[in-house]
Every structure is written in C-alpha cells, then in structure tokens.
Chain A
Amino acid sequence: MNSTMKWLAGALLALISVPACAALNLFACEPEWGALARELGGDKVNVYDATNALQDPHHVEAKPSLLARARNADLLACTGAELEVGWLPILLQQSGNPKIQPGKPGNFEAARYVHMLEIPARLDRAEGDVHAGGNPHIQTDPRNIAAVAEALGQRLAEIDPANAVVYRQRYAQFAARWKTALAAWEKQAAPLKGAAIVVQHKGFPYLENWLGLKQVAALEPKPGVEPTSTHLSEVLAQLQRQPAKMVIRAAYNDGRASEWLSERAKIPAVNLPFTVGGSDQAKDLFGLFDDTVQKLLGAAK
C-alpha cells in the first residue's frame, strides 16, 4: 500500500466515522427537558437549551439563534400542551427541518405522557391565558419527570438506534436513582401535606397535587394577567379570613407582588426554582426537587 492509498483510506475512514461519532442534536424548549436529556443521553446527546429558568416559557421570541439551532436539531424535547404556542410554530415553519415537524419522531412533547390537570371546561380568552390541553407546567411533580423520562428514553433509542443500549442503560440507572430520591423527597415533605399556599401564577398544580398543598389564592387575577393592586388587596383580605402558610412564585416571576403580600400578610414569600437553573442549588433535576422541598419546608416552619 503506497502513501497515497493510505491517505485515501484514512480520509475515507474519517468520512465514514464522522456521522458515527456525531452526537444527536437535541433542542430542549425548556431547561428541565434539557437536563433530562443529559441524564438519559450522556455524551451521546448534544443538548441545546432554548430557554433558561429566568424566562417565562409562555413568552419567548422566535429569535435568530433559536432558528439556527432548530434547523440542525435531530430531536425537539418540549412540554407541548400549547406552552410554546407563541414561538415554536415559527421555528418549525422556518427551520426547513423535516425531522422535527409535528408527528415526526423528532418532535417530542412531554405533556403527552403525563396525566394533565386543570383542563379547562370553558375555552374563552376572558379566562386569561388558559391552555386547552390543561395546565402545561408538568415539571413540578417528580412523578411526571419519571413518566417523561421513560418516554424520552424510548424516543432517544428510536431516533438513534446505534446507541439504544446506552440509552436503555442510562434510563434504568436514572429511574432507579429517581425512585430512591422520590421516596426521600416524599418522606421529607410529609409535614407539608394540607398546607395552604398562595401562588403568583397558576403554575404549580402538579406540585400541589404531589405534596398535598392547598392553593387558596393566586396573585394573577387571571392566568397570564399581571397582578393588579385591586386584586392583591382582595387576596390580602381573603388571607385574613383564611390564612395561608406562604406565597410561592417561580424564578422567572417578578417578585414585587409576592413580596408586597408577604410583608402585609406576614407569611414568607418563597421563590421556587420552578425548573433546572432556577436557583443555585437546582443545577440538575435532583437539585431542583431537593431545593424545592427544602424551600417549602423552610417556609412552612
């Protein structure tokens, strides 16, 4: 074999091996699904987080950087249930990427794999920013994370069959760790059962359902409508008759309304991470629930 032949063979090998070691490009609409994909995919998946925990996932712009990433994505991991309705359709339409179109295996909607709560009986914009498919903030219940993990693990294996074994193994490991962690969180959070809470945005029905919290009021007069002073006074008056333990908000919410109420109603205001990256402790999914449970316990004392 002369040197030219060797060079050619080398180039050919390099060409063939490029697609084999190129990681799967995953476009995560929300940080929780990005974090889950990292758990399940490890180095086989190249995760791009389209949004961060300080952004309101309802109001994200179809900005140029998102379009560029959507164009190269092999798999989209989003909540669905109309959460991304204001921006994702533009990305899908303009990406020129057939893999991630609705109905394709590359379009993964987490909300399809969990039991949805708060499905509105009446669809009317007079009710505020309601979602026909139910409340889309499913990531606040770790049992939902477990259900989505199973489905996402299967989807990864389907899209990237060469690494199916890896995904299955990683899922099994994650599921086992998650089960242990879940038992621990539930044990720690047992005292929270039945605690009355006020929420800023109706973003926590799944968390309430999981821990047995009782939402008695919301600071937003209607979902997606900013708190008004009239409504805040009403909530304050209501709390005098029917006290609550705390007022909770998500990391992306403006803190002023809940601080205002906290001061006057003499109850702690809790800033929950809401998703991965929403606090210093919520570095991954485990940290997210560690921190959520700790913050709730701290406020309930």
Chain B
Amino acid sequence: MFKRNLLTASIALALAAPLGAQAAESAELAQIRDQIKQLHDSYEARIQALEKRLQQAESIAGKAQAQAEKAEGKSVQTAALPQSAPTSASAFNPEISLILSGTYANLSQDPAHYRIAGFIPNGGEVGPGARGFNLGESELAVAANIDPYLRGQFTLAVTPENTVGVEEAFIQTLGLGNGLTAKAGRYLSGVGYLNEQHSHTWDFVDAPLAYQAFFGGQFKDEGIQMKWLAPTDTYLELGAEAGRGRNFPASDRAKNGVGAAALFAHLGGDLGISHNWRAGLSYLKTAPRNRAYSDTDSLGVSVDNLFSGDSRLAIADFVWKWAPNGNASRTNFKLQGEYFRRREDGDLTYDSAASSAGSHADHYAANQSGWYLQGVYQFMPRWRVGLRHDRLNGGSVDYASNSAALAQPAFDPVKTSLMFDYSPSEFSRFRLQLAQDKSRIEATDNQLFLQYQMSLGAHGAHKY
C-alpha cells in the first residue's frame, strides 16, 4: 500500500513540479490536471488489478501448500502405520530367557566311582550325575543387538552346588557381508553337530559318551570364530576358530597366541519338501601343557598325572530330518550321528606328586575313537520317543615305560539309552530316560532319569 501511494505521489510530483511556474495559463493547467488525474486513475486501476491478481495467486499458492501439507500428512500417517512401539527406556531392554531344569536319577551303580574305562579322565561333565533328586543347571541368557553392526549374548549357568559360571559371553557381527560372520568371546565351538547346541535343546538327558570322553561334555573356548557361507543355493559353510584353549582337550597355560585351533565345514540341503539334512567335518588341534588328571594306577593308588603334547581330534557328523510335507507339528523324525577320532602324542608324567612308586615321565601316544547314533520320532503331537546307541573304541594307548603302572585291558565302553518325552507346549518338556551304561569294566549301570526342562521369557529361536 505504501509503495503504491509513493508511486502515485512521485508521478504527480514529477509532472506537477515543472508546471507550477506557469501559473497564469490556468486553462492549460486545468487540462494538464485533468490529464494527471486520468493518468493517476489509470495507474490506480492497473495497480488495483495487479494487486487482485497477486492476491489470487497467493491464495492459490496457499491452497496448493495446504494440499501438499495434507498429502504429506497422509503419507506421514501411512508411514506411522507401523505399530507405535512403547516409548519408555525399558523398550531397549535385552531379550531375557531363563531355563529351569531338574532331574530325578535312579542309578544301580554308585556314580562316585564312575569312569569311562580306557579313556583319560578329563574332569568335565562326565557321568550320570548324582543319585536322587537333582536340580539341573539353571541358565539365564541375556541377548540383544548392540548396534546395527553387532549382537551380544550372555549365558550364565548356575549349578545346583550354587556355583555360577559364564557358559557363554560373546559378540557376533550382524550381516558383515559376503556371507561372513565373526564371533569373539567365550562360546560353544562350532565343531561337530551337538557341540554348539545348549544342553536344554538336547534330545536326551545327558551328552553321548563320545562327547563326555573327548570333550568332557561340550567344547567351549575363548577366542574368535570366523564363518563363511558360500553364495550357492546348496548350503556350504566353512568356519575357523582360534582360541585360548582353556578347556579339555586343551589346557590353560600362560602363553601368547593360540592354544586351540578348529576348522569345520558343513554341507546341507533339502531332498524334496519332506526331507532335509546336514553333514559336517571338523578338526580340532590343541597343544596341552601339563594337562593334569587324577587316575588310579595298577596298584590301586590314586595318582595325579600330567600330559604335554599334541591332541588332534577329527569329527564327522550328519543329521537327517523328516517331516511329512515339511510340517513337523504332527509327526517328524530325526536321525543323527557323529564319529570322533582322536590322536594324542606327547609326554606323560606319571604320579607327578610322587605318592607311590615315584614320578616318571615318558612318551605317551593314544589313538582312540567313538561314535553315537540316535533317532528321535515324534509319533503324535507332544509325544516323542528316542533311541541312542553310544560306543567308544579304546583303540591303541601306548604308555611306553609307564604302561606297567597305567595300562588297562582293552575295553570298548557301550551305552544304550531309550527316552520318551512329553511337551505340553514348545516351552515345556518332561522326559523319561532309561539307559544301560557299560562304561566301566567291572559293572553295568542301569539308569533311570526323570527330567523337566522349562523355558521362560524371550522366545529364543533354535538352531537347526
């Protein structure tokens, strides 16, 4: 508005000023005034027209903007459709799950005298456990994505003796690319088939004899693991691990570098829609130093021995699963087996504490093997039956000059287990297991177990 007034005024002024001097020519002046007025009016009209157009343009633009905003609002709405997540800080709490388990064991032989004849005791989770009612290991697991690149998992195992142990604590990459996955920390090694699976997902109460004899239960280590999945439609996975070697068959020692190295390869696929399978080969090399174990010598004296040398273990495993049309809800069958072969070569110090005939070190070489084969059949929803056969081959054990004190007669431990389980839901399971355990030369242990296993909290996905 101000601009327009200024414009008219200045035009008027510009025209009027030079005319002011010729006051006498009033007629002419009046004419000029007329002209100015006309000019003024015409400008006024044009400016008004312009202003009107401007207003129109502005209002159209405004409407367009409003429309655009509305459209945007709509798209915001569509985008916001994803269910609004809870906004509290606790929404970032990790997944927490708890495993509760307990057993009742009825054993015909005293478990205190349990040993796998012909195999070096390894101090691990070997044997059927205690008689009577027992609390199993309670496992508390916490897991979460750390950031877009890493995931962390922590599993705490509380034993019935009230000791707490870190079962697993590792970080793992998320989609590193090119099929690569890296893991670091303490984890269950990827060797074999059953080794990587937590005990609550096992199909039997206890681990197969081969796992007990060669790993003392399961092999877990601290270190790094690298896995590569091949870019093929057939599943092919290669993995390597470098670890500290804290646990049997390795031994913890003060040393830089790698104490245990593992390699494994897995191949798998489908056969039609009802069958799928996986087969694997693994190799574990450790170099134990002064790996201690307690044993009884030929005179019946309890002695402590030490082994230093190389331990090489090869495992071949396979699993085959069947479910009609791939639907395992009603019936399904699983057949799995693993074969272990171990070579140990080095020096053995007999009776390091020299409580009997005196400490003596000499060469030690052992070549031993073992396997198990098991089938588990779900014959109707909730109910399964399973049979497992374990066999160890004492193989050749050479104690050199210590053989008089330590050598044992050739013996192949055998165990057969039959189990039934009932799962009211996928989070709970009750199991009955009957076993005949011939791990000892002198006696057969007839075992009966009742077990419950419950899974609380976050619904953890299970490995194949």
- Please give the residue numbers on chain A whose beta carbons come within 8 Å of chain B beta carbons, in ascending order: 51-52, 54-56, 59-65, 67-69, 71-72, 82, 85-90, 92-101, 103-104, 112-113, 115-116, 119, 125, 128-129, 133-134, 224-226, 252, 254
Docked complex Cα distance between A113 and B83 (Å): 9
* B178 interfacial by beta-carbon distance below 8 Å: yes
B464: A residues at CB distance < 8 A? 61-64, 67, 90
Please report whether the interface of chain A is mostly helix, strand, loop or mixed according to DSSP.
loop
Interface stretch of the complex, out of B30-38, B324-332, B435-443: B324-332
30 contacts across the A-B interface (CB closer than 8 A): A51-B326, A52-B326, A54-B326, A59-B329, A59-B426, A62-B464, A63-B464, A64-B278, A65-B234, A67-B464, A68-B229, A68-B268, A69-B233, A71-B231, A72-B231, A86-B459, A89-B461, A93-B174, A94-B181, A94-B227, A96-B173, A96-B181, A119-B83, A125-B425, A125-B456, A128-B425, A134-B83, A224-B425, A225-B425, A254-B381
* B266 interfacial by beta-carbon distance below 8 Å: yes
The residue that B276 contacts in the complex, of A64, A92, A113, A116, with Cβ under 8 A, is A64
Contact of A226 with B382 in the complex, beta carbons under 8 Å: yes
A63: B residues at CB distance < 8 A? 268, 270, 276, 278, 321, 464
Contact of A112 with B276 in the complex, beta carbons under 8 Å: no
A98: B residues at CB distance < 8 A? 174-177
Contact of A100 with B276 in the complex, beta carbons under 8 Å: no
User: Could you give, for residues 42-70 of chain B, a 1 whenever the CB lies within 8 Å of some chain A CB and a 0 otherwise?
Assistant: 00000000000000000000000000000
Contact of A97 with B81 in the complex, beta carbons under 8 Å: no
Docked complex Cα distance between A95 and B179 (Å): 6
Docked complex Cα distance between A39 and B464 (Å): 32
Q: Name 19 extra pairs, CB < 8 A, besides A56-B327, A62-B462, A101-B174.
A: A52-B325, A62-B464, A64-B276, A64-B277, A64-B464, A65-B235, A65-B268, A68-B229, A68-B268, A71-B230, A85-B461, A86-B426, A87-B461, A89-B461, A97-B179, A125-B456, A129-B425, A224-B425, A252-B329
The residue that B328 contacts in the complex, of A61, A92, A99, with Cβ under 8 A, is A61
A129: B residues at CB distance < 8 A? 425-426
Docked complex Cα distance between A56 and B276 (Å): 17
Docked complex Cα distance between A274 and B327 (Å): 15
Count of inter-chain pairs, beta carbons less than 8 A? 146
The residue that A226 contacts in the complex, of B177, B229, B381, B427, with Cβ under 8 A, is B381
B232: A residues at CB distance < 8 A? 68
Contact of B327 with A86 in the complex, beta carbons under 8 Å: no
B174: A residues at CB distance < 8 A? 92-93, 98, 101
Docked complex Cα distance between A174 and B82 (Å): 24
CB of B175 to closest CB in A, whole Å: 3
Contact of B229 with A85 in the complex, beta carbons under 8 Å: no
* B406 interfacial by beta-carbon distance below 8 Å: no
- Please give the residue numbers on chain B whose beta carbons come within 8 Å of chain A beta carbons, in ascending order: 81-83, 148, 151, 172-181, 227-237, 266-270, 273, 276-278, 321, 325-330, 381-382, 424-427, 456, 459, 461-464
Given A62-B461, A62-B464, A97-B177: A112 in contact with B81 (beta carbons within 8 A): yes
| A252, closest chain B residue (CB) | B327
Contact of A71 with B268 in the complex, beta carbons under 8 Å: no
Docked complex Cα distance between A225 and B424 (Å): 8
Given A65-B235, A112-B83: A96 in contact with B180 (beta carbons within 8 A): yes
A116: B residues at CB distance < 8 A? 83
Contact of A55 with B325 in the complex, beta carbons under 8 Å: yes
A89: B residues at CB distance < 8 A? 461
Contact of B148 with A101 in the complex, beta carbons under 8 Å: yes
Given A64-B278, A65-B270, A67-B229: A100 in contact with B235 (beta carbons within 8 A): no
Given A63-B270, A65-B270, A68-B229: A93 in contact with B425 (beta carbons within 8 A): no
B233: A residues at CB distance < 8 A? 65, 68-69, 72
Docked complex Cα distance between A17 and B179 (Å): 24
| A94, closest chain B residue (CB) | B181
Docked complex Cα distance between A80 and B427 (Å): 21
B82: A residues at CB distance < 8 A? 112-113
Docked complex Cα distance between A287 and B269 (Å): 31
| B153, closest chain A residue (CB) | A93
A125: B residues at CB distance < 8 A? 425, 427, 456
Contact of A96 with B83 in the complex, beta carbons under 8 Å: no
Docked complex Cα distance between A254 and B323 (Å): 13
B227: A residues at CB distance < 8 A? 94, 96
Contact of A55 with B327 in the complex, beta carbons under 8 Å: yes
Contact of A95 with B463 in the complex, beta carbons under 8 Å: no
| B324, closest chain A residue (CB) | A54
Contact of B176 with A90 in the complex, beta carbons under 8 Å: no
Contact of B266 with A64 in the complex, beta carbons under 8 Å: yes
Contact of A71 with B325 in the complex, beta carbons under 8 Å: no
A95: B residues at CB distance < 8 A? 175, 179, 229
CB of B146 to closest CB in A, whole Å: 13
| A88, closest chain B residue (CB) | B461
Docked complex Cα distance between A69 and B180 (Å): 14
| A62, closest chain B residue (CB) | B464
| B268, closest chain A residue (CB) | A64
The residue that B463 contacts in the complex, of A85, A90, A99, A104, with Cβ under 8 A, is A90
CB of A25 to closest CB in B, whole Å: 10
Contact of A71 with B179 in the complex, beta carbons under 8 Å: yes
The residue that B273 contacts in the complex, of A52, A71, A224, with Cβ under 8 A, is A52
B180: A residues at CB distance < 8 A? 96
Docked complex Cα distance between A87 and B229 (Å): 18
The residue that A99 contacts in the complex, of B148, B175, B181, B462, with Cβ under 8 A, is B175
The residue that A62 contacts in the complex, of B234, B330, B463, with Cβ under 8 A, is B463
Docked complex Cα distance between A52 and B426 (Å): 21
CB of B304 to closest CB in A, whole Å: 42
